[in-house]
Structure 1
Amino acid sequence: MRGVCVARGLGALLGNLWRRLRRAPADLAAVAAAALARLVAAFLLLAAQVACEYGMVHVVSEAGGPRGKDYCILYNPQWAHLPRDLSKASFLQLRNWTASLLCSAADLPAYGFGNQIPLVARGNCTFYEKVRLAQGSGARGLLIVSRERLVPPGGNKTQFDEIGIPVALLSYRDMLDIFRRFGRMVRVALYAPHEPVLDYNMVIIFIMAVGTVAIGGYWAGSRDVKKRYMKHKRDDGPEKQEDEAVDVTPVMTCVFVVMCCSMLVLLYYFYDFLVYVVIGIFCLASATGLYSCLAPCVRRLPFGKCRIPNNSLPYFHKRPQACMLLLALFCVAVSVVWGVFRNEDQWAWVLQDALGMAFCLYMLKTIRLPTFKACTLLLLVLFLYDIFFVFITPFLTKSGSSIMVEVATGPSDSATREKLPMVLKVPRLNSSPLALCDRPFSLLGFGDILVPGLLVAYCHRFDIQVQSSRVYFVACTIAYGVGLLVTFVALALMQRGQPALLYLVPCTLVTSCAVALWRRELGVFWTGSGFAVNTSLL
């Protein structure tokens, strides 16, 4: 986590450097020299002050009662290191001294903090002044309560050498929860366990993502080909009428990407307002997707075939079957339940993932790429879009943060604390400071499923048309799985959010193209002409 803290500060600095150079092209050399000097000085300052790590404070009640609980802390290991194992940490009495800022000797208690960890308020003086007074008064550690965003407690080398007790920041909300849950008499232990290389929840995300792509691609391809071969049959029954697939044109691709860029930037600057719009859209779209996925199964049920009476209502004039009406009500109810309880971290993620996979399946069935040329254009444009908003935008934003990661995980300074629902999310199964403090869930965006999934659907349609025993479909699905594994490895090595399309797009495109070359069908695969040849035989 220390590298993450330094990278954020350095990213913001490079962004400011870029803006200064862009504003003063006439005096480029002078500006560059001055900026370079500041960059070196700031880098040394960052190395000295912005080293930070997430840790945990384990709280237990002195009077028994509830089982102990971990809370997030942010500490600077240059003050004092924390043990990596809770069994090696000392449990000490926590003394609530938040009525004081601990900025002068007058703020100290009459008998000091002998073998205690004081809890003081942030503000009015430096971290060094607080911890120096606490250490001189016999404290074994210091917790500083912050109502603002947690920042690493900085200092300089001389101060680091002088202090021998750990100092960490605790959020005000966590402090309130500690005293509400455990009372005023508590004991605490500070520790910082190692982060696991990979969390087991990645296996769950992998199965959900690959399963959605495989099922969606298979369903979309089979449905499209079936409709081509059944065009001469007519069945106007309400239950047989399905939504027509939408062919994606180059113009639609450009418009879609522009809309994505605009929406992402707007969310970055107006997150607290637009997040509710996205939540509402997700509720409607996911209910529709869930209905579309369950409808084929419900139609096969032997009961509920009766239709509602004749009427003039907008939807009911088609006289839907009773079972389909009940299904629609069920899907809306599931979506509403998620919308109401979306912030219940213990179980709401299950509903979100189920609705999200249904939404992705619905989109894969509805949106169709007519040629491999269209697939290549869409995937490459979104490939560049993903890289830009993850890796380039940190140099352009004032905070040095990635727009994509900031929006996907929710801004840390958001007043609403809402998260965008357009992701698959699974809670971390390993106990770690990162899971407790920064990212309690592992995320995979719907775009990382839908975009390669459209190519998988095209491969399946092409397989059936040229009677290739689904070799394109299987190869592209396996390539998607491999690309996802590469994404997870990159995430573990870099310990930062990754643009999944950076790995998924090359894997799926190159594999599909290689299969076409191997079968000597690249021409028809590129233009989709295999569809026209086979359809003309009907």
Structure 2
Amino acid sequence: MVHVVSETGGRKGKDYCILYNPQWAHLPHDLGKASLLQLRDWTASVLCSPPDLPAKGFSNQIPLVARGNCTFYEKVRLAQGGGARGLLIVSKETLVPPGGNKTQYDEIGIPVALLSHKDMLDIFKSFGRAVRVALYAPGEPMLDYNMVIIFVMAVGTVALGGYWAGSRDVRKRCMKHKRDDGPEKQEDEAVDVTPVMICVFVVMCCSMLVLLYYFYDQLVYVIIGIFCLSSSTGLYSCLSPLVQRLPLGRCRVPNNSLPYFHKRPRVSMLLLALLCLAVSVVWGVFRNEDQWAWILQDALGVAFCLYMLKTIRLPTFKSGNSIMVEVATGPSDSATHEKLPMVLKVPRLNASPLALCDRPFSLLGFGDILVPGLLAAYCHRFDIQVQSSRVYFVACTVAYGIGLLVTFMALALMQRGQPALLYLVPCTLVTSCALALWRRELGMFWTGSGFAKDVPQSPWAPPSADDPQPQKDSDTSLPRPPPGEELAKCPPPPEQPPEVSVPEETGAGAPPQEPVSPVGCTPEPTSLVGASA
């Protein structure tokens, strides 16, 4: 850091980022131990030869020179010979650490650092030409408090998305008989992940990364537009169940022949759609506002992840291959300086100077939430299938949290960005498989819907016309719920007469009775969610 103050007093000093190499000379970690020296504006020269030196040298000054025409060593050797106490090199290009070799490092005893041209203009505009500067290198905290916010958002999204996906799938099994004849769809259809879909997804992602590498400044706006549309859809999907329960806005649009509107949607749902679209548009317009735009981006990103976890479904555990898509943060020499929005971002909460020198945000990619979240959703559906009191879902969610903590520890130790899936995927996969192995359900957990094709019908299910004989006890290997328990989970639709009921008493000596269920809402054979009937 370079701390700048005006020689004439006035406004408070200000810090600017510089990039230096500690092998030239060490800087004090405390600003109080750094010497305030006069800054000499010598940017009209590149300081590459002795004639570039001023007549009286740089006695107890820190010269500010232009970058180019010679090596860093040649510049700093001339500055040191002229009596300078340090050297700042102004760069219009990307800042890089000023390098040299061991012999040059031993010869030079003053610090040399690079300052951006934009910061130089701000210094002279804010403080004038007569300024004093102090060079220092404050220590960085190992972790920032914003990691707590990222942890809560990530784990909360995985837990809520996985729980919602499993509960929604159970509801669909019970309401499978209902036709979509109403003015609104009851539920969006889930999309099962297949090997073909995975291959297409990988090819598309690789192609997009290559195109972004060569045409970033053009395609970044396409990605931003796609994010606005998809995130507004996700926000609508998350808020619509809440709005539907409100007593207001239940009236519907009049009869018409317009597309979609001919279904006569509720006015409240139209207003919700407009609100969600407006939120995404506001983010799109003000996306580069570092003060508050990150809140909208995180809200839209969480809604998008929840929508994807609810919609995309793993039919089997073996189809859940680890697919890591790196979210590019944009090249430093980009003409647009736009960033791809496919990340959760939280600003740094401590007083670290890294907010000036590096990205002032901590980032977590959507892929680090979606890929483990799909496994958490699968675990919840499997819990409901085998009636395991959500042990798989809880274990997978806890393992995700532990994996995220391991990622933060690696970030603190290595002091560089980490591929989070490198830690999240092993934690969630090993935990889920170990739990299934311990419960002796690894085969069922692995095969998923394929196992459902071989599962025999449970003895308490109503006999079908093709198989009138009840199942024998020795033919089933799954735990049997008490009679009537599965029926209790399948409520009759509201349009059915209230007198339809389920038998409440069955005993060992009672004659077998066929449960009565409205409109064919009968208990199904025990099978994994997503299996074909």
Counterpart of 1:93 in structure 2 is: 38
Out of 270-279 and 454-463, give the one that drifted further: 270-279
Out of 422-431 and 205-214, give the one that drifted further: 422-431
Separation in 2 of the partners of 1:373 and 1:500? 21
Please state how far the C-alpha of 1:370 moved relative to its aligned partner.
0.9
Amino acid of the structure 2 residue aligned with 1:134: A
Please state how far the C-alpha of 1:223 moved relative to its aligned partner.
0.6
Counterpart of 2:80 in structure 1 is: 135
Amino acid of the structure 2 residue aligned with 1:282: F
Counterpart of 2:447 in structure 1 is: 527
Aligned: 1:474 with 2:419: no
Q: Structure 1's 236 and 440: CA in aligned 2 closer, same or farther, altered over 3 A?
A: same
Amino acid of the structure 2 residue aligned with 1:497: G
State the secondary structure of the residue aligned to 2:328: helix
Separation in 1 of the partners of 2:180 and 2:211? 45
Amino acid of the structure 1 residue aligned with 2:524: S
Counterpart of 2:214 in structure 1 is: 269
Counterpart of 1:355 in structure 2 is: 300
Q: 2:426 aligns with which of 494, 506, 511?
A: 506
State the secondary structure of the residue aligned to 1:409: coil
Counterpart of 2:475 in structure 1 is: none
Counterpart of 2:524 in structure 1 is: 536
Q: 1:190 aligns with which of 106, 116, 135?
A: 135
Aligned: 1:202 with 2:147: yes
Amino acid of the structure 1 residue aligned with 2:48: C
Please state how far the C-alpha of 1:365 moved relative to its aligned partner.
0.6
Number of aligned positions between the proteins: 458
Separation in 2 of the partners of 1:339 and 1:163? 50
Counterpart of 1:282 in structure 2 is: 227
State the secondary structure of the residue aligned to 2:133: strand
Q: 2:46·2:67 contact (CA, 8 Å) conserved in 1?
A: yes
Q: 1:291 aligns with which of 210, 231, 236?
A: 236
Counterpart of 2:277 in structure 1 is: 332
Counterpart of 2:256 in structure 1 is: 311
Out of 257-266 and 286-295, give the one that drifted further: 257-266
Q: Percent identity?
A: 85
Q: Structure 1's 219 and 64: CA in aligned 2 closer, same or farther, altered over 3 A?
A: farther
Amino acid of the structure 1 residue aligned with 2:426: P
Amino acid of the structure 2 residue aligned with 1:366: T
Q: Structure 1's 465 and 194: CA in aligned 2 closer, same or farther, altered over 3 A?
A: same
Q: Over the residues paired in the alignment, what is the CA RMSD in angstroms?
A: 2.2
Separation in 2 of the partners of 1:62 and 1:246? 67
Aligned: 1:443 with 2:363: yes
Q: 1:228 aligns with which of 170, 173, 185?
A: 173
Q: Structure 1's 319 and 90: CA in aligned 2 closer, same or farther, altered over 3 A?
A: farther
Out of 327-336 and 135-144, give the one that drifted further: 135-144
Out of 490-499 and 508-517, give the one that drifted further: 490-499
Separation in 2 of the partners of 1:465 and 1:182? 69
Separation in 2 of the partners of 1:163 and 1:364? 58
Q: Structure 1's 524 and 265: CA in aligned 2 closer, same or farther, altered over 3 A?
A: same
Q: Structure 1's 194 and 310: CA in aligned 2 closer, same or farther, altered over 3 A?
A: same
Name the structure, 1 or 2, with higher relative contact order (CA <8 Å, separation 6+). Answer: 1
Q: Which has the higher helix share?
A: 1
Amino acid of the structure 2 residue aligned with 1:464: I
Q: Structure 1's 424 and 116: CA in aligned 2 closer, same or farther, altered over 3 A?
A: same
Q: 1:192·1:433 contact (CA, 8 Å) conserved in 2?
A: no
Please state how far the C-alpha of 1:459 moved relative to its aligned partner.
0.8
Q: 1:483·1:507 contact (CA, 8 Å) conserved in 2?
A: yes
Counterpart of 1:487 in structure 2 is: 407
Counterpart of 2:345 in structure 1 is: 425
Amino acid of the structure 2 residue aligned with 1:296: P
Aligned: 1:147 with 2:92: yes
Separation in 2 of the partners of 1:531 and 1:294? 34
Separation in 2 of the partners of 1:187 and 1:237? 74
Separation in 2 of the partners of 1:134 and 1:98? 13
List gaps (5 residues or longer) in structure 2.
Answer: 456-485, 487-522, 527-533
Please state how far the C-alpha of 1:434 moved relative to its aligned partner.
4.2
Please state how far the C-alpha of 1:174 moved relative to its aligned partner.
1.8
Please state how far the C-alpha of 1:112 moved relative to its aligned partner.
3.4
Please state how far the C-alpha of 1:305 moved relative to its aligned partner.
1.8
State the secondary structure of the residue aligned to 1:408: coil
State the secondary structure of the residue aligned to 2:93: coil
TM-score in terms of structure 2 length? 0.81
Q: 2:294·2:346 contact (CA, 8 Å) conserved in 1?
A: yes
Please state how far the C-alpha of 1:65 moved relative to its aligned partner.
4.7
Counterpart of 1:74 in structure 2 is: 19
Counterpart of 1:211 in structure 2 is: 156
Please state how far the C-alpha of 1:260 moved relative to its aligned partner.
1.8
Counting only pairs closer than 5 Å after superposition, residues 34-45 of structure 1 correspond to structure 2 as none
Out of 454-463 and 188-197, give the one that drifted further: 188-197
Q: 1:364·1:457 contact (CA, 8 Å) conserved in 2?
A: yes
Counterpart of 1:394 in structure 2 is: none
State the secondary structure of the residue aligned to 1:258: helix
Query: Rg larger in 1 or in 2?
Result: 2
Please state how far the C-alpha of 1:439 moved relative to its aligned partner.
3.4
Q: Deviations along 1:51-91, whole A, 9 cap, x unmatched?
A: xxxxx112233445544332221112122111111121122
Counterpart of 2:500 in structure 1 is: none
State the secondary structure of the residue aligned to 2:17: strand
Amino acid of the structure 1 residue aligned with 2:130: M
